[in-house]
Amino acid sequence: MLKVKKTLEKNKTKQISQFIKSKILVINLDKPFRSLSDEIGIKFVDNFDKVTSLEDVGIIYVGISRTNSLDDCKNTITNIKERCGYLNIPIFAVGNETSMFILKQTISFGATSILILPINKKELIKNIEKNVKPAGKRISLNVSMVNPFISATKEVFEVMSGIHVKRKSLFLKKDYKIFGEVSGIMGLTGDAAGSIAISFSYDLAKKVISIILDMEVAEIEEDDVKDGIGEILNMIAGQTKAILAGTKYRFKLSIPTVVAGYGYEIYHPENAPCIVIIFEALDMQFALQVSLAPSNKKR
């Protein structure tokens, strides 16, 4: 019986090492946590400089101590978020119960979630498996649904501001949290249901809105940003709705909401993937996040 159990554990370790093709970046964490690397058969990387491409990184674990100040934690998480850009790399703040207050604050700084020490091999494997898989149903991307959102985004930017927008990449998101720093969110209902969100850095948002309003960037206030992003999202969704009107993905619009900061999660249908399209405008990037599925109800 003991031999069978050890064989099963060995097979599990082999499976996880084969499953995780990406690197796991471990920052500011000591030997007890790092020693799990050998146990689960995955090599941890302890420095950004040892990563050829951030696209190879699957998860980032960041050690947080109760001796760290809130400013230190904010700077650490913010710097990591900036380096990752719009790549969907889960960032876990790791610490023990004594640092719980600071750990919880890291979510507002951009951490995906927290992990409490001590953690054993089984728990770490479960955490890794959960966070490297795409969110939602793992189905093939339907280009007939995705392409209208891409073309609508390009057209809306061109019409509203004359800004040329280029699609950079597309991937399935690992969770349903929006990227921040400032995002517009809209629920989609009807024959198809789900959500759409558009996320900008605050600098890019102000630049885009300043061009739309024909104002200096310094003159743009927070309300201008919120109104402008809400209108951009409304037009993108409206344009896409018109394109998809004759398909199983036809939907109705709701009123957009604009939020600032990290940690927000948007509604999503369980039977749909969460798709992220990265665009480039004015030499900066922004993200469009779409989760949409046709209803199973008969018309």
Q: Which of 30-34, 39-43, 86-90, 211-215 has the lowest mean pLDDT?
A: 39-43
Place of tokens 């018109």: 242
CB count in 10 Å sphere of residue 49: 6
pLDDT at 103 exceeding the cut of 50? yes
Q: How far is CA 51 from CA 5, 135, 146, 261, in A?
A: 36, 25, 31, 28
Tokens of 136: 């939602």
Both tokens of 175, joined, read: 């969770």
Contacts of 34 (CB under 8 A, 6+ apart): 26, 44, 46
pLDDT at residue 263, rounded to an integer:
76
What is the CATH class of 2-132? alpha beta
Residue 15: is its pLDDT beyond 80? Answer: no
Q: Name the nearest CA neighbour of 27 among 4, 41, 11, 46.
A: 46
- What are the residue ranges spanned by the domains of the chain? 2-132, 143-294
Spatial distance between the Cα atoms of 247 and 249, rounded to a whole number of angstroms:
5
| Matching CATH number, 143-294, of 3.20.20.70, 3.10.580.10, 3.40.50.9100, 3.40.1550.10 | 3.40.1550.10
Q: Which pLDDT tens digit goes with each residue over 171-207?
A: 888 887 888 789 999 999 999 999 999 999 999 999 9
Radius of gyration, alpha carbons of the chain? 21
